[in-house]
Chain A
Amino acid sequence: MKYTLLILTMIISVANVFGQEFTINGTVKDASINDILPGVNVLVKNQNRGTTTDFDGNFTITNVKVGDVLSFSYIGFVTKEVAIKNSSDLTVLLQEDVSALDEVVVVGYGTSTKKEITGAVTVVGSETIEDLNPTQIEQALQGQVAGVQISAQSGSPGSASNIRIRGISTNGDNRPLILVDGNVIEDLSVINPSDIESINVLKDATAGIYGVRAANGVILITTKTGRKNTELKFNYDFFGGYQETSRKISLLNATEYALLANEAFASGGQAVPFPSVAGLGMGTNWQDEVFQKAPIINQSLTMSGGTEKSTYSVGFSLLNQDGIVGGNKDNFKRYTSRINYNRDLLESLKLTANMIYTGTNKKSLPVGGLGSILFNALNNAPTFEVRDPNGEFTLAEGVGLGAEVRNPLAMIENTFNSVKVDKLSGKLGLNYSFWNDFVVETSLQFNYAEVQGRNFEPIVNYGAGKIGNNQRITLAENKDIFKDYTFDTFLNYDKNIDEDHNIKATLGMSVFETSGLFSGSTRGFFDNPVDFANADIADAVDLRNELKLSGASGRFKERLLSYFTRLQYNYKGKYLLSGIIRRDGSTKFGPRNKFGYFPSGSVGWIVSEEEFLRDNNVLSFMKLRGSYGIIGNDRIPGNAFRGILNGEAAYVLGGQLVFGNAIGILPNPSIQWEEQKTLDIGVDLKLFNDNIDITADYFRKRTEDLLLQPQFSGILGATAPGSSSPVVNAGSVENKGFEFAIGHNSDGSKDFSWGINYNVTFLQNEVLSVNNSVGFIPGGGFGVGQGDLPSRMEAGKPIGYFIGLQTDGIFQNQAEIDAYGAQPNAAPGDIKFVDVNGDGIVNTEDRTDIGNPIPDATMGLNLSFNYKNWDFSSYAFATLGNDIVRNYERTESLVNKSVYALNRWTGEGSTNSYPRLTTDATNNTLFSDFYVEDGSFVRIQNMQLGYTLPIRTVEKLGLDKLRFYVSANNVFTFTEYKGYDPSASSGAPIGAGIDGGFYPVPRTYLLGANLKF
């Protein structure tokens, strides 16, 4: 011992000869959140010694001298080198390495790195979600991911969006499989977006690890966890503001309306309805009455931290959003609380436990479609006051308005309902490593949800013969329970052999069960006055529950049993090979077709690792990849392969309504899953020292054995109450296209930095075959009572294309009609239709392709700038080449009209675009391209300006970070479409793009703060 000390002293003395050595102290922090980073590796370069930062992010290194270089490295951060200049304490800021090739990507039953991934996978990180302030997760994906199209079903708070990955590939359910921490989630509105760490979108056949459910793509969502060795940190986010309608449709005022109505009646040979128009003035603008500014407030608090062996994260959030129609009558509230806990039970055994509770409460109004509030704001006569002299709502009575047109404010006043959801989701998982190369993981995920609906109808009179009149106070309640669990067990093997060969293998199984219990609607009446808040179903009389009366079970249970394996091999980290096979058994299919095998494979070549490209100045990274596989779709109603007595059988015997049994969906014992054959060829590039990122993909998805429920011969009895057509495998659809994304992010450590990301998708959809006897499947709806449906799925055309008459201007005079001959009943001023089949008469046989609701291209653009403490981001997206059908105009004679009616045909030469106004029965209201418009648009979706207080100021306040921002969402839309919102869509594969009065997505102005302490 004495010797040792002596030798040491000698060495130090000798070293001192060469330079003054000293001890250096310092702290390492995460630059983005100015938070300490424990566990960072600190190495003295070229000396093979170093240390790691402690619990408080501090480090001490002895015996260093000026000129030594310290290297700081930490997983997920850019390694930083600092040359020692003097002995004073160092503060080192590390930048998060967001585009790192080593970034871990969740790929389903395991992880991979960005570098090694051979499939088409896009990751959206929490930063993007923070920038966009979405209230629903879908909004964070809109325009962000090439190949993913998001369209809102409505602008109403809490309403869902359609998610389409690489086009519409089936006539049935096109939703992708969505897994949150491995847990199946059907309704994304229950998730608080700020709980999300990352969203991974699997777009190609590598999603085949999910087998029979993967054909519409897979979205894997990971929630936030804490970080080891960090003290408790709080993160509080707030935003609040107001929403307003992004658009109003220009309508006729009362005087214009009356004059045009008179013209129409006179032309039809009827007495004019407004003999005097004097004093009508502007009248009531129903849209001004219906739309309002509506508040939105969102708060969330996250607490996270970790010890040496465990991490935890706890979050709460509260969202309260009113609707721009009806305010609090169209309200969405969401409460979430979440706990995420991970612990290393042993060095080799890790436990994951998380639990999310979500409560939502949604009040809604009838806002879209025939007879809805917005429909009535457009169609009700401007000559009516809102209220009569007695203060009562006016009635939209009189012939010429139809039974559906009612006072929209009376409708808002008389609508009372709520849907309350309580949902508990959780996961318990164990991960055990053994024999160096093996990891076995097992987890149980579950969801439990209770959905309680209440609908109250007061006594209401909208006018004689109007729909929705109610003579007796009615309350209906229902309570449905949904349960599911997923039980996954899998083994991962990861082995390097001779440095050059890496083998990874996955072998596992998954069990899934979902079940539900519907209470049916219990309806009762109140004979004494009572309001919604105080109505208790226990006090109601004449209680009825038709589901219970009918004796139907109201229950379902479906299961999935799956085995899967994946083998990955790479040679020298540049040649990548992967194969997947999954066997699925599903309760959806009959005994002969229950089980299926879904294989897929992919290859990759990291070209930039080759000698000839190494150290290339331009190309810093290049990967070529390709994948092909067969994946499935089982999203059809349960029990479609067998006859189930859940149809409606109800008749009156002995003076009582009695219930019996009848068949539901007609059975087709031979149905099986849809098969999708998917090809993807892609390239990933990084240019100029990783400054520019490019990803490009060509894809072709061919869906075969499409599951359809087409119209069938009436002799089979499918139109009986509660029955429907059999589900059949009939048809195929192809989606092919090209995706391209390019991005640049400049060095974030400078005073000024900026970033730009752009993505575009070109998509072509074609139906290849429809194997029913007519060769097409009709769908959608136009106008009222028109027997021919406007949309079709037909071979050679995009799915859901519009079929109608083609117009050729307006007949200017009788001579023109006579000369044409094909429309003998037309009058001057009527629309001239093209006699497409040339048989000398215009009829339904002349209907032809007049539009396509699927966009040719969709794109998104993100821009961000940071200057010192200021940050700015802006984001826009566009869809090009899609058509929309204007179907929010009722054809009755006295409904109000859009201002374009002012340009109507009034005599020879007046216009060749807009037909005359008349109460005569004309063919002008037949579905034709007169009603089809270009729905292309460019939308500035988000602009945000933020200011982060300087660290010094913040520290004085005892905080780590404080940022304020102002933001506007849905800022402006450039479009030529006349309706409310070209972005909204019903989501039906056949019948999409038909606008029955979409609730416009609101424009939102927000003020927000992010606080960390």
Chain B
Amino acid sequence: MIMKYKILKSSIIAFLIGAVAISCSDSFVDVDSFDEDSESFFNSEEDYQSALIGAYDLLQSTYLNVMLGEIASDNTLAGGESATDVPGIQEVDNMSHTPLNAQLRDIWSWMFAGVNRANYILEFKDKTDFAGKEQVLAEATFLRAYYYFELVKWFGDVPLSVDKRLLFGDQDIVERTPKAEVYAQIELDLIFAAANLPAVQSETGRVTKGAAQALLGKVYLYQDKFSEAATVLEEVINTGPYDLVTDYNSIFEQAGENNIESVFEVQYTDVEGAGFGCLQCSEGNVAVGFNGIRNYTGPDFDSGFSFNVPTQEAYDAFEAGDIRRDVAILDIVAWADQTGATYVEGFEHTGFYNRKYIARKGDLNTGDANLTNPNNYRSIRFADVLLMAAEANNRKSGADDIKAQTYLNRVRNRAELGPVVATGAALTDAIYRERRVELVGEGHRFFDLVRTGRAAQVIPGFTAGKNELFPIPSIEIELAGNRWAQNPGY
């Protein structure tokens, strides 16, 4: 009996001692996370590559820049279901957007998210060395330039951060950097990227030397630096592996992804979706579902939300015999007559759809079908490079119109159109016209009109001196401590 008591008592004591021993140290609450800590990362090549994927990720959110850029122009109308379907898109179409516009805030926030993810890598660029690091840094630098170029195109002066993330607290101190300085950094970044990237990457989707050069040429063009633009763009034409695809129609189909004409292409897939609460999280091209034919049942295409519908005027901008018209623009009335397809007319129904980027049949569309279309966005096509080179040669001091004609006519020839022989201002106009029809539906038109000073003439509702830039979202000004001036006119 006494034995039993002893056992019990000693067990209690053991219990108590155990309790104290296990837990009395304060270090008990120092628990590491199971996921990597952001500040102790970048210890191997794999870490750098892994962070780089994060920086690429935000390219997918540029679907909105493309769609809204097109709607802002005279090529398309907002469409949708009704006059109140996504008011932010309707406003941009009508040039009645205000600093409260939700879609503009998305573009602002998503592009800065991309900048920060690229800067995250560059902030730690000296931490670990490995063979081929320059190429990783070059890709990150290109991506930072890509996002910053979007930001200056849309908003003008924006806070610039180089090789350093904007961290919590910085929002109260950073200023908007003048556009010219941002452009200067973009140029530096692209020059560095072009110097350190291979002409051909082992994996499709990665940035190449040609992509960096083409984007640099475009950035020069946006600043009217025509000779620099001509030089770098011609380098792409002469040394890059790029060429025009013979069959224009094949470019925008699944089989035509990452083809020889594609200088830079934003990659999408149909295997992972997202919800309306986080459109930027989708791995699919959200714009494609938005552009799709409303309540469509029929061959070839999937249904969509009938946004971004081409105008009659855009349809009529094609010359007779231009094979590109019926590839770029779907005449839904004729198509329905021909195939027996059915659809419903949405808001601002024009009878036309943006055929390059509407939903195709046969995709997995995992998750929400409308948000997970796999159509890659052909961000920089070789045709665009040729037309930019043509424009740069035509507009540079000491213009080389012969070269300009050559590049322009290469594009026209593929469209089965006769050559342009005009020179000077007439050639400039011809190049502008060609840009419109070659690139319709691809999101370039509004910014081309703005940079060439033609926006006020052709975009209904466009106010010169104001609408060249979009407003900084007012909440963004407030959240940065109400220190920044709004863009003029807003």
Interface residues, chain A, CB within 8 Å of chain B? 345-346, 349, 397-399, 402-403, 430, 432, 440, 442, 463-465, 467, 469, 471-472, 487, 489, 509, 511, 523, 544, 546, 551-561, 585-587, 591, 594-595, 638-639, 642-655, 657-664, 666-668, 711-723, 726, 772-774, 785-788, 844, 891-893, 919-921, 925
Contact = CB atoms under 8 A, between A and B. Distances in A.
A645 B43 CA distance: 14
Interface string B34-69: 111111010000010111111011111000000000
B28 A585 contact: yes
A41 B34 CA distance: 60
Contacts of B58: 720
A399 B304 contact: no
A653 B479 contact: no
Contact of A653 (B47, B267, B278, B344): B267
B476 A714 contact: yes
**Most chain B Cβ neighbours within 10 Å, of A557, A594, A658, A720:** A720
B139 to A, nearest CB: 11
B295 A397 contact: yes
Contact of A650 (B272, B370, B479): B272
B218 to A, nearest CB: 22
A662 to B, nearest CB: 3
Nearest to B87: A785
Contacts of A661: 36, 41, 47, 50-51, 53-54
Nearest to B275: A467
B303 interface: yes
Contacts of B49: 660
A919 B204 CA distance: 48
Interface in B268-289: 268-269, 271-272, 278, 280-281, 283
A464 B15 contact: no
28 contacts: A397-B295, A399-B294, A399-B345, A403-B305, A464-B303, A469-B369, A509-B19, A511-B28, A587-B29, A643-B39, A645-B41, A646-B35, A650-B272, A653-B204, A661-B36, A661-B53, A663-B54, A663-B120, A711-B475, A713-B476, A713-B479, A716-B116, A717-B109, A718-B109, A720-B114, A720-B117, A785-B84, A921-B82
B22 interface: yes
Contact of B479 (A556, A646, A712, A719): A712
Interface in B285-321: 292, 294-297, 303-305
Shortest 4 CB-CB contacts between residues of A and residues of B: A660-B53, A714-B109, A643-B38, A649-B54
A491 to B, nearest CB: 9
B269 A652 contact: yes
Contacts of A925: 84
B154 interface: no
Nearest to B5: A346
A34 B295 CA distance: 71
B183 interface: no
Contacts of B116: 715-717, 720
Given A399-B294, A645-B37, A721-B278, A487 B22 contact: yes
Given A402-B81, A649-B54, A657 B271 contact: yes
A465 B298 CA distance: 12
A39 to B, nearest CB: 25
B110 interface: yes
A720 B478 contact: no
Contacts of A653: 53, 56, 203-206, 267
Contact of A465 (B8, B53, B106, B305): B305
A891 B50 CA distance: 45
A773 B482 contact: yes
A648 B31 contact: no
A94 to B, nearest CB: 35
A489 B87 contact: no
Interface in B116-133: 116-117, 120
B351 to A, nearest CB: 15
Interface in B2-25: 5, 8, 12, 15-16, 19-20, 22-24
A715 B171 contact: yes
B171 A442 contact: no
Nearest to B85: A785
Interface stretch (B162-170, B245-253, B388-396, B429-437): B162-170
B192 interface: no
Contacts of B305: 403, 465
Contacts of B204: 653-655
Interface of B: 5, 8, 12, 15-16, 19-20, 22-24, 26, 28-31, 33-39, 41, 47, 49-54, 56-60, 81-88, 100-102, 105-106, 108-110, 112-117, 120, 159, 165-168, 170-172, 174, 202-206, 267-269, 271-272, 278, 280-281, 283, 292, 294-297, 303-305, 342-346, 364-366, 368-370, 473, 475-476, 478-482
Contacts, number: 288
B82 to A, nearest CB: 7
Given A662-B57, A713-B171, A442 B22 contact: no
Contacts of A546: 272
A828 to B, nearest CB: 19
A583 B69 CA distance: 57
Given A463-B295, A552-B35, A712 B57 contact: no
Contacts of A893: 82
A449 B108 CA distance: 43
B267 A651 contact: yes
A345 B114 CA distance: 66
A284 B448 CA distance: 54
Nearest to B306: A465
B57 A649 contact: yes
B168 A719 contact: no
B475 A774 contact: yes
B479 A711 contact: yes
A654 B203 contact: yes
A925 B8 CA distance: 74
B283 A652 contact: yes
Contact of B29 (A469, A523, A586): A586
**Most chain B Cβ neighbours within 10 Å, of A556, A658, A719, A788:** A719
A716 B168 contact: yes
A618 B166 CA distance: 70
Contacts of A594: 26, 29
A721 B280 contact: yes
B12 A430 contact: yes
Contacts of A658: 53
Contacts of B54: 647, 649, 660-663, 720
Nearest to A397: B295
A191 B93 CA distance: 56
Contact of B81 (A469, A554, A786, A892): A892
B372 to A, nearest CB: 11
Contact of A649 (B53, B101, B112): B53
Nearest to B39: A643
Contact of A652 (B113, B268, B370, B480): B268
Contacts of A345: 8
Contacts of A556: 34
Given A653-B203, A716-B112, A464 B296 contact: yes
A925 B83 CA distance: 12
A337 B26 CA distance: 38
A585 B26 contact: yes
Contacts of B110: 714, 719-720
Contacts of A591: 30
A972 B86 CA distance: 41
Contacts of A585: 26, 28-29
Given A442-B16, A467-B370, A652 B267 contact: yes
Nearest to A647: B54
B84 A891 contact: yes
B304 A465 contact: yes
A399 B344 contact: yes
A633 to B, nearest CB: 17
Contacts of A509: 19-20, 23-24
A543 to B, nearest CB: 12
